[in-house]
Amino acid sequence: MKFFGIGVLGKDVELKTTQSQIPFCSFNIACTRKFKDASGEKATDWFTCTAWRKTAEIIAQYFAKGDK
């Protein structure tokens, strides 16, 4: 599945490998809604993502906690 959105990384990305040496990483992206709920607060949605192979290596190399 592809996801297109703007959010902030919740923590540093950790690159791991499978037993067959395929790199992967899992990370969380926080997206704050533009509107407020009934209590007057903005809600934040968290998305868990997984990247594989070269994409995972690039994400782990160039992105850190708090990056958009």
User: Parallel, antiparallel, or unpaired: how do β-strands 14-17 and 42-52 relate?
Assistant: unpaired
pLDDT above 80 (res 3) = no
Interatomic CA distance for residues 44 and 20, integer angstroms: 36
pLDDT above 80 (res 56) = yes
What mean pLDDT value characterizes the chain? 90
Interatomic CA distance for residues 14 and 17, integer angstroms: 10
**Residue pLDDT, tens place only, 18-51:** 999 999 999 999 998 888 878 888 888 899 999 9
φ/ψ of 61, rounded to 5, equals -75, -40
